[in-house]
Structure 1
Amino acid sequence: MRKTSLALAVAAGTLGLSQVAFADLVGDTKVSLEARNFYFNRDFRQDNNDTPTPSQSKQDEWAQGFILRMNSGFTDGTVGFGADAIGMFGFKLNSGGGTGNSGLLVPDRSRKAGSQDNYSDLAVAAKAKISNSTLRVGQMQFKNAAIASSDGRLLPQVFEAGHIVSQEIDGLMLEAAHVREVNHRNSGDYEDIAITNNFNSRTGSAGTRGITLRDGSTTDSFDFIGGTYKLTKELTGGYYYSNLDELYKQHSFNLVHVLPLGDKQSLKTDVRYARSTDDGNRSNVDNKAFGAMVTYGLDGHAFGLGYQKMSGDTGFAYINGTDPFLVNYVQISDFANKDEKSYQARYDFNFASIGIPGLTFMTRYLTGDNVDRGRTASEGREWERNTELMYVFQEGALKNLGVRWRNATVRSNFANDIDENRLIVSYTLPLM
């Protein structure tokens, strides 16, 4: 009896302390559920004899996904503790006749171009905060010049890592991380990290990327350190150093300047430069990537012009499956092959400027040339055209429901010709 009474007293005392300590933890917690319905259709259309024949003529899949996100607050005290989580579940609505491998679902290795019926994953990260610095350990997403998790399919890509962010100085954000494994957007398992490459192991060709590898293309170690600083009200600078162990080292620089020009007018300049080299003898990475995008905004209109140039012995190096920090990385292509020069023209319109809030339109055209295809092949050329129309309901029973159509056309004399459509219907419900 006395043991029970003592236990109850301790529990009551602990609960009392917990209510104080965990007040901010619960009160600042944000929880949301996103339902994402995704239809993906990609036709391979080879219009000339130079390009390779794809293994399948079409990728056509329809799937439903659910993404539960939880970001807790922190316990009270000098050191605050909390946790973040991403729960993911996706299932197949339609994928038949050998039209899988779209990236929406996990491939079914027992069937050619088939997909599994469903997949799921849970990404959890513990976190601790002192002052304005936060340490996270576990599974998480990234978005910076060194590494950016892809969220362009049904479920997002996540990494297993330790990550620290410091914002102790006004206008300065510093961060560093050690990353061990990746769970890709169409996978339920964690695996080693690979470098993006189009090396053909069957023929021994380095492909248009120009990167050759020894002893495999994966590693279990990626590190980065860097940050951004708001130099003036209009100018922000950034620098990151990253290292994919034994495969590449990279220095990335970025300057973004936004110049107000008057009533509802602005000029935005985004300049990016990255220097990549090998890290040991497992690769031959040697690349300089320069890019610049200038965008003139006028009321609801935005007119952009971009330029990107690759130089060095190889194309641009980045982690496989991620979104590279390049101005000409678009819906399908990255225009980052060996010696490639590319140009972009883009137009955006926000219909809120004429009284239709929630409706936006974008179209762009990119062309690339001077791709090194080897001594026996002609100069590589490619172009891509994208169109995107999106509407988010602003009120009523359908408020926050988004409908997005993305169309792309790619033509090339060294890669697959592609016609692609994506239809995405998403709804995010705040739960806390």
Structure 2
Amino acid sequence: MRVMKWSIIALAVAAGTSQMAVASSQDESKGFIEDSKLNVKTRMLYFSRDFRNVPNGSQSRVEETGLGFLGTYESGFTQGVVGFGVDAIGMLGLKLDSGKGRAGTGLFPEGSDGRSQDDYSEGGGAVKLRISDTVLKVGNQFTALPVLATDDSRLLPEVAEGALITMDEIKGLTLHAGHFTGLNAQAQTFRDSLHLTKADVFGGTYAFTDNLSTSLYYSKVEDYWRKYYANINWALPISDDQGLVFDVNFYDTKSDGDGKVRTFDGETELDNQAYSLSAAYNIGAHTFTIAHQQITGDGDYAYGVDGGGTIFLANSVARSDFNAEDEKSWQARYDLNMASYGVPGLSFMARYVTGEGANVEGTTNGKEWERDIEAKYVLQEGPAKDLSFRVRQATYRSADGVYYGSPSIDELRLIVEYPLSIL
């Protein structure tokens, strides 16, 4: 489940445009210890879902609270033509509140008795080497590629296992090539809990100018599918406090190998296209966004085994992805940044998404809608600088059970995060 991918594309572009022709990153290395970074992020999450119109005897509510710790260590690179380094990941999740009748939020692993575990942990590491502005990392890592993206929407993130090469040798161009053999779910600790056997990915992002970039990626997930992804992102400044941003995303997915994922009728393999087009207008503290998304061909736009974040489409929001076969959806969104009104760090968001024409079991014209409201405040200074408080409320309705048979729900998340930089 992802929401608006512009920030990831912007980071990729920034990485490419920041390269200088006169010296590579490896030339400027200060050393293994000198460039080391150690960060710990603490997240407390209250998660509640109230299911509506559920059959008698079915669970009507899930509600749990947890505390997560994510520690990441990134060494620098040794000096010389080839630099060597290591990365390490340590994660711990603690159950603060739950119950047998309220479990099932996806925050914690569940036992055979239906109860959430009191705690869970996971650790991993990776070795890396750098030549010039090219980095190879082998081991456990987080990924943010449009065809393989680890999800971080619960207490602790997914972790991928494999090798990834990132090249920034040409100004404005960032290339990726990867081979992955495992992916751990957010609330599981055993290896490859998402059942990925092999995924090969390749692609990159190129910035034609500071305001115009494009991306193209390919992936092949063994026994599931092959995907193509394309993106165009264009920012058009109008004045000092006004601007437009256009973003186009496109996926082409086709079953491959055993074709373990099929269409809703269970008979046809995946062969579909998914695209979204969004336009955002910013004026001062206000941003107004409209978006359209459509799925065509056979089957839903499928993802998950290749990462819970591998859906860079505009209408993938808090609860639904609006990604059913033949579904068309529209979004209207409003963002408010209170810094312009003297309250830096405070922001609000509201959006409404509606979809129709979905081919799902029981109907060929399924409909669904979702309304999301969010408020967030980030401390700007003081000893607790960067401590953030966020409230997210989602209302989802579908009499047709469009989102994988899901009933209508009311959802509430309260999130407190504190990132601490130790080194």
* TM-score category (smaller protein): 0.7 to 0.9
Partner residue of 1:371? 358
Q: CA separation in 1, counterparts of 2:381 and 2:233?
A: 34
Does 2:134 correspond to 1:133?
A: yes
- 1:359-378 CA-to-partner distances (Å, cap 9, x unmatched) read 0111100000001135x635
Identity level (%):
41
Alignment RMSD (CA, Å): 1.6
- Structure 1 residues 353-362 or 272-281, which shifts more? 272-281
Q: Over residues 333-381 of structure 1, what are the superposed CA-to-partner deviations in whole Å (9 max), with x where a residue is unaligned?
A: 100001000000000011011111110111100000001135x635200
Q: Are residues 242 and 54 of structure 1, via their aligned partners in 2, closer, same or farther at CA, if it must alter by over 3 Å? A: farther
Distance in 1 (alpha carbons) for counterparts of 2:193 and 2:219: 17
Q: How does 1:290-369 map to 2 (within 5 A)?
A: 290-320=275-305, 322-323=308-309, 324-369=311-356
Change (3 A) 1:245 1:55: farther
Q: How far did 1:23 drift?
A: 5.3
Q: Could you say which residue in structure 1 is the equivalent of 2:72?
A: 69
Q: Distance in 1 between matches of 2:167 and 2:155?
A: 32
State the TM-score, normalized to the length of structure 1. 0.85
Deviations 1:383-432 (A, max 9, x none): 01111100011123432211111110100122311100000111111100
Higher relative CO (Cα under 8 Å, sequence separation at least 6) belongs to 2
1:421 corresponding residue in structure 2: 412
Task: Say how many residue pairs are matched.
Answer: 380
**Structure 1 residues 141 and 55: alpha-carbon distance in aligned structure 2, compared to 1, 3 A threshold:** farther
- 1:407 maps to what in 2? 393
Higher Cα radius of gyration: 1
313 and 33 in structure 1: CA distance in 2 versus 1, 3 angstrom threshold: same
SS of residue paired to 1:228 = strand
What residue number does 1:117 align with?
118
In the alignment, the residues of structure 2 paired with residue 303 and residue 131 of structure 1 have an alpha-carbon distance, to the nearest angstrom, of 42
Deviation at 1:300, TM superposition (A): 1.1
Deviations 1:202-260 (A, max 9, x none): xxxxxxxxxxxxxxxx5401111000000122110000001111211111000000000
Q: Give the letter aligned to residue 378 of structure 2.
A: V
Distance 1:327 1:52, change over 3 A: farther
1:29 counterpart = 2:36:
yes
Give 3-state SS (helix, strand or coil) of 2:280's partner: strand
Gaps of 5+ in 2: 1-28, 261-268
Equivalent of 2:251 in 261, 274, 287: 274
Letter in 1 for 2:33: V
> Aligned-pair distance for 1:313?
1.1
Deviating above 3 A after TM superposition, structure 1's stretches of 4 or more consecutive aligned residues are 51-55
* Contact map agreement 1:345 1:364 (CA 8 A) in 2: yes
The 1:277/1:311 distance shift into structure 2, 3 A limit, reads same
Instruction: State yes or no: 1:288 paired with 2:265.
Output: no
SS of 1:318 mapped into structure 2: coil
TM-score (norm 2): 0.87
Superposed displacement of residue 156, structure 1: 0.8
Q: Which residue in the other structure is 2:170 paired with?
A: 169
For residue 151 of structure 2, what is the aligned residue in structure 1?
Answer: 150
- Report deviation, 1:55: 4.0
Q: Does the 8 A contact of 2:31 with 2:79 survive in 1?
A: yes
Number of the residue aligned with 2:9: none
The amino acid across from 1:422 in the alignment is: R
Mapping 1:235-250, distance limit 5 Å: 235-250=212-227
CA-to-aligned-CA distance 1:279-335 (integer Å, 9 cap, x gap): 134341111111011000011110000000000011102234512111110111100
Residues 192 and 220, structure 1, Cα contact 8 Å, conserved in 2: no
How far 1:90 sits from its partner (Å)? 0.8
Partner of 2:187: 186
Distance 1:53 1:326, change over 3 A: farther
In the alignment, what sits opposite 1:104?
Answer: 107
Indicate if the aligned counterparts of 1:312 and 1:338 stay in contact, CA closer than 8 A. yes
Gaps of 5+ in 1: 1-21, 194-217
Alpha-carbon distance in 1 for matches of 2:259, 2:411: 35
Mapped contact 1:147–1:319 kept (Cα < 8 A): no
Amino acid at match of 1:144: L
Judged with a 3 Å threshold, the aligned counterparts in structure 2 of structure 1 residues 54 and 317 are, in CA distance, closer, same or farther, namely farther
**CA distance change for structure 1 residues 157 and 192 in 2, over 3 Å: closer, same or farther?**
closer
Deviation at 1:72, TM superposition (A): 1.3
Matched AA of 1:43: D
Q: Deviations over 1:160-207 (max 9, x none)?
A: 1111011100000000111111111101111264xxxxxxxxxxxxxx
The secondary structure found in structure 2 opposite 1:352 is helix
Contact 1:44–1:54 (Cα < 8 Å) also in 2: no
Change in 2 beyond 3 A, CA 1:287/1:378: closer
- Cα gap change, 1:192 to 1:177, in 2 (>3 Å): farther
Q: CA contact under 8 A between 2:324 and 2:360: conserved in structure 1?
A: no
CA 1:83/1:352 → structure 2, altered by over 3 Å: closer, same or farther?
Answer: same
After superposition, give the CA deviation of every residue in 1:20-69 in whole Å (9 maximum; x if it has no partner).
Answer: xx9511111111111111111111011xxxx7779411110011111111
CA contact (8 A) 1:286 1:315 kept: no
Of 76, 97, 113, 1:94 maps to: 97
Counterpart-to-counterpart distance in 2, 1:313 and 1:136: 36
Please give the alpha-carbon distance, in whole angstroms, between the structure 2 residues aligned to 1:233 and 1:429. 31
Q: Which secondary structure state, in structure 1, belongs to the residue aligned with residue 31 of structure 2?
A: helix
Q: Which residue of 2 aligns with 1:258?
A: 235
For residue 399 of structure 1, give the secondary structure of its aligned residue in structure 2: coil
